[in-house]
A and B are shown apart, each in its own frame.
Chain A
Amino acid sequence: AQSVTQLGSHVSVSEGALVLLRCNYSSSVPPYLFWYVQYPNQGLQLLLKYTSAATLVKGINGFEAEFKKSETSFHLTKPSAHMSDAAEYFCAVKTGANSKLTFGKGITLSVRP
């Protein structure tokens, strides 16, 4: 079975500050890992994905995430937050032939001026 844990439901940062959104996963086989962003009244958009190549993955809008097998983590970071980053962020895991995505509960990111 696969699962994702996103601790906390809300993160608030100041504009220009570091963004760190945490994700831990559980999987019995090597996972594929994803971060999706959901803006209000819009569908989910893929930010980045880990598919067993480089452990440091760069995505769109300046976001990146690092796969750490020893910590079963895939935390999302961005060096400098913009107001436009305010949205809900979901971490998801997929394993091998099982093609469904299993999502965490999501984290709402607020950016203060």
Chain B
Amino acid sequence: GAGVSQTPSNKVTEKGKYVELRCDPISGHTALYWYRQSLGQGPEFLIYFQGTGAADDSGLPNDRFFAVRPEGSVSTLKIQRTERGDSAVYLCASSILASKGEQFFGPGTRLTVL
């Protein structure tokens, strides 16, 4: 595709449930990033991948959050035992290389935990 795509665009779940959010980066981009944007705030870094490996996961808030990128392309952000405080827009971005190049953002997944 032409840009970064994220699915679903909206996800409503109940407290305690498990959710998966998918990101499909721009073809050929080796670096992939996840950010979380809460209402009225700027995006906050969660994790980034260079290829298949997580190069920096320092932004993951706790062990309920986990992300994978098994083939170095599509990535899945997984949230276990969701809490109401997890409600936010989850943004994915990709770039040609982590050390240089613009980060291109997807439209985000709006997660609502009831």
What residues of chain A have their CB less than 8 Å away from a CB belonging to chain B? 4, 6, 9, 36, 41-46, 49, 90, 92, 97-106
Q: Give A46 Cβ to nearest chain B Cβ, in Å.
A: 5
Residues of A within 8 A of B91 (CB): 43-44
Residues of A within 8 A of B3 (CB): 43
Q: Find B45's partner among A45, A46, A90, A102 (CB 8 Å cutoff).
A: A102
Whole-angstrom distance between the Cβ of A53 and the nearest chain B Cβ: 13
Docked complex Cα distance between A49 and B103 (Å): 11
Inter-chain CB contacts under 8 Å: number: 56
Q: Is the CB of B105 within 8 A of A43?
A: yes
Judging by beta carbons under 8 Å apart, are A99 and B48 in contact? yes
Kindly supply a per-residue 1/0 record for chain B positions 38-52, scoring 1 wherever the CB is within 8 Å of any chain A CB and 0 otherwise.
001111110010000
